[in-house]
């Protein structure tokens, strides 16, 4: 049975609610008309820090998702590269750094998430085949410099997306989060080939902001008290918001705490209007000294960044 809302909403508890603060009211990056592969949208970036640079690996689209008659177009997604020394002002490369070149990803490569593991960057992404309904899989590619990507292959077959690796191995195992509609699943693997122990760790809940489905945002971020897992949640009006949970450091299958309210939602015009209205969707965050910088896509069209201090994050969770 679901908890009554007045308990989940924390009315009985005086803790301040965690809310991400926007660091810019304007998008950091928008589509470039005339640059074919990123004409209609740039969104949902993975983020990595390399030396003094913050690097975004973002999803870009060549066409709107629907035409003037509302019919689906044959759009394709690519991964673009942008870098910055202050996390706010980015310069980008003129061509995608990664594109689909297999039959299972002819409609493109979507929603990347990056971790640094085993002396290389591992980027999980959604490979979109478009050959039949639900033709998307979790795939992986590797790089040492975030620009040249190689050795790409499908990790998990099936109608599965929102794949992200835990940024460390435990007892030699990699942990892979994924989404089989409508839940967030976790599994582990010794070799990124054989996957074990698939279990649901987070499900939709209640009748409000997370009623329909949930999926991981970026790879979980290590904090003193556990793995901070940001996730997206969808309501019955197709609004995408961000939620937060804390996972046990030793056993990430164990959810220690989950906030009852969204920590971020579409509010600005460019988060409410775009290729898909009313969406904030994150695929990565940077863990900085003062707090967490959360990069996100707005309305599947442009990229922004929001922030919370560690004290704000820490103060929001109760662990029983
Ligand atoms: C998901 C993915 C994301 C997108 C979201 C909202 O299924 O396609 O790339 O941001 O839907 O449209």
Nearest 10 degrees: Cα torsion 156, 177, 308, 115: -60
Residue 7 confidence (pLDDT) above 70 = no
Instruction: Indicate if ligand 1 lies below 6 Å from the C-beta of 77.
Output: no
**Whole-number Å distance between alpha carbons of 105 and 130:** 8
* Choice among 4-18, 77-91, 162-176, 283-297 with the minimum mean pLDDT: 4-18
Residue with the bigger pLDDT between 122 and 15: it is 122
**Whole-number Å distance between alpha carbons of 126 and 246:** 25
How many other β-carbons are positioned within 10 Å of the β-carbon of residue 88? 12
Say how many Å lie between the first and final Cα of the chain, rounded: 19
Q: Which of 40, 133, 281, 304 to mutate to test the pocket of ligand 1 (most atoms within 8 A of CB)?
A: 281
**CA-to-CA separations, 78 to 107, 110, 128, 176, in angstroms, rounded:** 9, 7, 11, 23
Q: Please say whether the beta carbons of 46 and 56 come within 8 A.
A: yes
Residue with the two structure tokens 């980008």? 92
Q: What is the pLDDT of residue 1?
A: 43
Q: What are the tens digits of pLDDT across the range 309-318?
A: 999 999 999 8
Mean of per-residue pLDDT scores for the chain? 95
Instruction: Indicate if ligand 1 lies below 6 Å from the C-beta of 83.
Output: no
pLDDT band for position 13 (cuts 50, 70, 90): low
Residue 190 confidence (pLDDT) above 90 = yes
pLDDT band for position 15 (cuts 50, 70, 90): confident
Model-level pTM? 0.95
Instruction: Indicate if ligand 1 lies below 6 Å from the C-beta of 271.
Output: no
Q: What are the tens digits of pLDDT across the range 195-217?
A: 999 999 999 999 999 999 999 99
Put the strands of the sheet holding 109-117 in their side by side order: 109-117, 120-128, 136-143, 150-156
Closest residue to atom 7 of ligand 1, CA basis: 161
Comparing CA positions, the residue from 40, 67, 46, 22 lying closest to residue 219 is 46
**Whole-number Å distance between alpha carbons of 205 and 215:** 13
Percent of the chain with pLDDT over 90: 93
Instruction: Indicate if ligand 1 lies below 6 Å from the C-beta of 281.
Output: yes
> How would CATH label the architecture of 35-316?
5 Propeller (2.115)
Residue 5 confidence (pLDDT) above 70 = no
Mean pLDDT of 261-285: 98
DSSP line for 144-199: SSSSS-EEEEEEE-SS-EEEEE-SS-BTTBEEEEEEETTEEEEEEESSSSS-EEEE
CB burial of residue 32 (10 Å; 0-12, 13-18, 19+): middle
What residues contact 10, with CB distance under 8 A and at least 6 apart? 17, 260, 261
**Whole-number Å distance between alpha carbons of 44 and 27:** 12
Q: What are the tens digits of pLDDT across the range 223-236?
A: 999 999 999 999 99
pLDDT band for position 12 (cuts 50, 70, 90): low
Instruction: Indicate if ligand 1 lies below 6 Å from the C-beta of 279.
Output: yes
């Amino acid at each position: 049975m679901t908890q009554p809302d007045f308990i989940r909403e924390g009315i009985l508890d005086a803790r301040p609610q965690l809310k991400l603060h926007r660091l810019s009211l304007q998008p950091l990056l928008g589509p470039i008309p005339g640059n074919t592969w990123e004409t209609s949208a740039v969104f949902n970036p993975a983020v990595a820090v390399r030396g003094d640079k913050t690097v975004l690996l973002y999803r870009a689209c060549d066409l709107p998702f629907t035409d003037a008659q509302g019919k689906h177009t044959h759009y394709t997604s690519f991964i673009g590269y942008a870098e910055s020394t202050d996390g706010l002002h980015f310069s980008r490369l003129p061509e995608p750094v990664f594109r689909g070149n297999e039959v299972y990803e002819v409609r493109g490569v979507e929603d990347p998430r990056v971790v640094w593991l085993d002396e290389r960057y591992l980027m999980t992404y959604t490979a979109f085949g478009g050959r039949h309904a639900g033709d998307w899989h979790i795939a992986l590619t590797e790089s040492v410099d975030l620009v040249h990507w190689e050795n790409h292959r499908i990790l998990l077959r099936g109608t599965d997306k929102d794949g992200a690796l835990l940024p460390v191995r435990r007892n030699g195992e990699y942990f892979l989060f994924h989404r089989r509609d409508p839940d967030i699943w976790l599994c582990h693997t010794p070799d990124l080939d054989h996957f074990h122990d698939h279990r649901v760790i987070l499900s939709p809940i209640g009748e409000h902001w997370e009623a329909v489905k949930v999926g991981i945002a970026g790879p979980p971020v290590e904090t003193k008290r556990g793995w901070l897992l940001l996730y997206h949640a969808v309501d019955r009006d197709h609004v995408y918001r961000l939620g937060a949970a804390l996972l046990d450091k030793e056993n990430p299958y164990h959810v220690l705490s989950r906030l009852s309210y969204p920590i971020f939602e579409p509010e600005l015009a460019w988060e409410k209007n775009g290729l898909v209205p009313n969406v904030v969707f994150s695929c990565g965050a940077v863990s900085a000294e003062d707090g967490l910088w959360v990069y996100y896509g707005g309305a599947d069209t442009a990229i922004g960044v929001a922030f919370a201090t560690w004290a704000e994050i820490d103060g929001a969770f109760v662990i029983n």
